[in-house]
Chain A
């Protein structure tokens, strides 16, 4: 099968444009973080290549590096531990659900599915975590509520179900117990799918600010995204409600410059940006592997 030059050209053009649509904003963020606000306004807009380099924004952020380093530590810890625990539990539950010989399969499935449709609401959730369990300002509050994602369990269950039951039975014949079957038989076969879940979970933990917003108040326990979000939402409220504020608060220079905001964005997103390509081969496999075998 040879596709005509024209089709090939148009496919290439399409993907070049698509790539540009994703790359240009990123480049613009980098450039803006390296410019000065006054310069941006004077030259009448943003450019792709800075007319001169200013590192003021980064200097300002790194002037008090402890907060950002602390936030990095929190986020990395939460992401690593959270992802490990989450994948373990998700795989365990998914495997149980995938076994047709498990008696409470339907009941458990429904129980899990029910939580996708209904929840207790924000205030009871808050009362449970903050008051009953007293997890405010702890790693528990950042990790535990997000450990189980029912969607991921079902995704993995579907994948496990494609593994022939004979494989499990023959392992049993050889004297393997349930945990051995899961870790030595199922997991190696389903590595791409599990890696996909791991990447999705890691992203969710890395990008989470919601749990931090609810339960974290100590500055040294704030995850990276919460810092970023607090800064941006603070700007929003200062600008939109300026008129109702006390006069002595209406100081024009309390809003960080555009460059600082963009530098903060890069610092918060950076590591994931570089880590993602290394996971990508699993990611693609994980999404297609079921279809090929199916």
Chain B
């Protein structure tokens, strides 16, 4: 028995000792979601060798298979204080705001100019400002892609021509497509006019060209009265949007069982719908055709904006367990300013995984064993070699669109939800009850909105509005 205890003690001591040794070396680990590839080992080894030559650090890439897997593992590893350096984070997987609230990341303000010199300059100031946490510090390094956000509606081209759709009118007001929907419903028995599913709520689409800016959850301000915070559910624009959705649902423009459709894409590909939503990107029509196999006409809605989601979709942070945050940032800087390093990770090894067909343009080799679709995650997608279908001047286009786009009002306002956490949790419960029926248009605002508002009052929604108002006032006072 004593022998066994000694053995165990030795085992424990041994493992902790080997750990301390590892911590002293100039190693940088990089954690990110991935989908396993046959040639991962070879590509990562080549990338690590290149990084060693350029920075002198041993970079270890730690890929995690799949997003949910990454999310679960990283939350746990972060809570347990596992030693990590660079960790990938975002607004939709391994949420950066939650982790900042748990002090999982190192504040980067003092390090950025020194350790991330090239990429710090390349990313526009407004991106850094938008990602400041509610304590005013920068914790994350954003990605660069196509930051201008604009929503659009696609129409199946043959049907749009057949039923003489007025695209210009739809661009002014989406409700103008009602007659088109009615015509499709009548003339095309095999087609459902509107593509709506349980993961694609009409709340986003029918309420998105509204006169307000959302500050937090239910708290919004009107663009023409931007200092007064109000409850979005009490506003006429929202009820109007829901009314239109409900009317179209009742008229059969939306599938009656739309809530059971989780993934719309196979049905869109099977040409079961006439109309749907998408985000504006360069060559959106061609891209849509390449993915779905049919022609569309696109109506762009509103004006391009920059805000919340423009930079938060993919970021890197430095874990608080990192022994040397500056070294970690130096590796990140190389990744986002050196096209060779970036493309090694994004596209693999030249000749094996892709062919160069121009100075800056490549074609992937089919079944080559490395095609992880990582551009967006590594950071600066403007360094990526261009693939077939991407315009030569994509980077110029993206930067131009970004400069022209309007920065959303209060885009750099960051709400600290600490004091109203309970209300947030209670609201999630209340909202989940109606979420499904709202997302497909089953929710009748004239009948169902009143009970919802009463429940909101009960959980103390007014406190949320008041708290947002308080923080907005403080924000405005500081701006002056």
Contacts and interface: CB of A to CB of B under 8 A. Distances in A.
Interface string A117-148: 00000110011001111100000000000000
Interface string B259-284: 00011011111101000000101000
A132 B13 CA distance: 9
A235 B313 CA distance: 17
A246 B265 contact: no
Given A126-B76, A234-B69, A246-B376, A251 B291 contact: yes
6 contacts: A66-B38, A133-B12, A219-B36, A234-B69, A244-B309, A248-B375
A252 B313 contact: no
B96 to A, nearest CB: 11
B105 interface: no
A7 interface: no
B66 A230 contact: yes
A64 B265 CA distance: 25
Given A247-B146, A251-B291, A252-B291, 8 more contacts: A37-B266, A38-B266, A134-B15, A217-B64, A222-B65, A237-B92, A242-B199, A244-B92
A255 B69 CA distance: 16
B93 to A, nearest CB: 6
B314 interface: yes
B69 A132 contact: no
A248 B67 CA distance: 16
Contacts of B269: 37-38, 252
A150 interface: no
A43 to B, nearest CB: 10
A196 to B, nearest CB: 31
A52 interface: no
B76 A123 contact: yes
B67 A234 contact: yes
Contacts of B312: 244
A42 B291 contact: no
Given A230-B69, A238-B67, A251-B373, A41 B62 contact: no
A214 interface: yes
Interface in B1-59: 11-12, 15-16, 19, 36, 38, 40
A190 B368 CA distance: 56
Interface in A55-81: 63-64, 66-67
B145 A230 contact: no
Given A127-B80, A217-B73, A250 B279 contact: yes
Interface in B46-104: 62, 64-69, 71-73, 76-77, 79-82, 90-93
Given A134-B15, A253-B265, A237 B71 contact: yes
A79 B434 CA distance: 44
Contacts of A237: 67-68, 71, 92-93
Nearest to B369: A64
Interface residues of A, number: 49
Contacts of A258: 266
Interface in B238-273: 262-263, 265-270, 272
B93 A241 contact: yes
Contacts of A248: 145-146, 375-376, 381
Interface string A222-236: 100000001101111
Interface string B295-309: 000000000000001
A231 B68 CA distance: 9
Q: Closest 7 CB pairs between A and B?
A: A233-B68, A244-B92, A241-B92, A246-B376, A234-B66, A246-B313, A134-B15
Interface in B369-416: 373, 375-377, 381
B314 A253 contact: no
A15 to B, nearest CB: 31
A10 interface: no
Contacts of A217: 62, 64-65, 73
Contacts of B36: 67, 219
Contact of B314 (A132, A134, A231, A246): A246
A37 B269 CA distance: 10
B373 A249 contact: yes
A213 B145 CA distance: 31
A170 B414 CA distance: 78
A180 interface: no
A238 B69 CA distance: 12
B65 A239 contact: no
A288 interface: no
Nearest to B311: A246
B15 A245 contact: no
B293 to A, nearest CB: 10
A254 interface: yes
Contacts of A19: none
A38 B199 contact: no
Contacts of A161: none
B91 A244 contact: yes
B199 A240 contact: yes
A211 B308 CA distance: 36
B316 interface: no
Q: Among the interface residues A217, A251, A253, which one has the most CB atoms of the partner chain B within 10 A?
A: A217
A139 B92 CA distance: 32
Contacts of B91: 244
Contacts of A64: 38
A243 interface: yes
Contacts of A67: 36
Interface in B118-141: none
A233 B33 CA distance: 13
Contacts of B268: 252
A240 B199 CA distance: 5
Nearest to A227: B65
Given A217-B62, A244-B309, A249-B373, A123 B79 contact: yes
A42 B143 contact: no
B80 A131 contact: yes
A191 interface: no
Contact of B11 (A41, A133, A241, A249): A133
B161 to A, nearest CB: 24
Contacts of B12: 132-133
A210 B475 CA distance: 44
A236 B309 CA distance: 20
Given A37-B266, A132-B12, A246 B80 contact: no
B230 to A, nearest CB: 24
B67 A239 contact: no
Contacts of B265: 252-253, 255
